[in-house]
């Protein structure tokens, strides 16, 4: 073998070794982050009885909260909620910018939601919580977040929650297969005062525009234009439940992440508000 050939083979071996090492480190970090997230959920989520007391099992261990499965597509999404299952005081001690918790039924999407003070989505491509964990430590997997264009009391017509497609929202890509929808359509946002239950209406491939501003979603006209565009979306990776009559009187929750194939497109999972539960009443 020529000297040039040996050099090429050596380079290939080195590149392969570096790639293998990167993948090993990446997946090790991803698993560590996943374990950390699950530990957080176990520590701050509990089942409570009607008196608001934590429920324990026969060994005295606190029972963690579980969201009920959704019914079939043609039926209304139902989630049993009587008391707040999230220890927001404990979360506040970890990070005072955490203001909500998102759970999607029968998935591993079960994470806190934060909003960084003063951070707007207008003209931004890098956000604080893209690379900062819920505990304020640097993290390539980030934290679910909203921008200041959304209020923290879920009162807006449209609330957009952002997350990475390789971690927190990695399961969203599975919704491109419409059969994956079954039993996974309940999207629940818990806040210290209320729980908001949404039913998945559409999953669509979208551009990178900042939705709230691009479509003026805080106006009836802009909101209706956005709804109509979602309904008109037709491609193999997008699905819309045409049995649901969505109008500008509804409130939407949008889970937004990059497409796995390209960062130039976004993938949106859109839910329609079904019910609110006020813990304080």
Amino acid 244: pLDDT:
94
Domains of the chain: 67-278 (2.40.260.10)
pLDDT band per the 50, 70, 90 thresholds, residue 40: confident
Q: What phi and psi, each to the nearest 5 degrees, are found at residue 255? A: -100, 120
Least confident of 38-47, 78-87, 103-112: 38-47
- List the structure tokens of 92: 């506040």
pLDDT band per the 50, 70, 90 thresholds, residue 124: low
Its pTM stands at 0.78
* Angle formed at CA 78 by CA 205 and CA 89, multiple of 5 degrees: 85
* Mean pLDDT, the chain, integer: 79
Q: How many residues does the chain have?
A: 281
Three-state DSSP at 210 gives coil
Please compute the mean of the pLDDT values over residues 228-245 and round it to a whole number: 90
Radius of gyration of the chain measured on its C-alpha atoms: 21
């Amino acid at each position: 073998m020529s000297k040039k050939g040996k050099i090429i083979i050596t380079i290939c071996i080195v590149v392969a070794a570096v790639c293998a090492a990167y993948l090993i480190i990446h997946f090790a970090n991803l698993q560590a982050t996943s374990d950390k997230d699950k530990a957080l959920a176990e520590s701050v989520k509990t089942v409570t009885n009607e008196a608001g007391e934590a429920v324990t099992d026969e060994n005295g261990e606190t029972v963690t909260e579980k969201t009920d499965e959704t019914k079939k597509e043609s039926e209304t999404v139902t989630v049993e909620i009587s008391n707040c299952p999230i220890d927001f005081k404990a979360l506040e001690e970890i990070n005072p910018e955490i203001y909500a918790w998102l759970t999607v039924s029968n998935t591993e999407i079960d994470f806190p939601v934060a909003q960084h003070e003063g951070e707007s989505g207008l003209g931004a491509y890098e956000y604080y919580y893209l690379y900062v964990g819920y505990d304020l430590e640097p993290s390539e997997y980030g934290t679910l977040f909203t921008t200041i264009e959304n209020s923290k009391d879920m009162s807006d017509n449209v609330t957009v929650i952002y997350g990475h497609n390789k971690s927190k929202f990695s399961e969203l890509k599975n919704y491109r297969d419409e059969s994956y929808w079954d039993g996974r359509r309940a999207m629940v946002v818990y806040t210290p005062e209320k729980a908001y239950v949404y039913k998945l209406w559409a999953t669509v491939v979208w551009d990178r525009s900042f939705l709230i501003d691009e479509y003026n979603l805080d106006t009836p006209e802009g909101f209706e234009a956005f709804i109509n565009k979602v309904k008109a979306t037709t491609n193999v990776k997008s699905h819309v439940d045409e049995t649901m009559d969505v109008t500008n009187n509804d409130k939407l929750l949008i889970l937004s992440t990059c497409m796995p194939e390209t960062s130039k497109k976004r993938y949106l999972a859109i839910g329609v508000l079904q019910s609110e539960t006020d813990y304080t009443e």
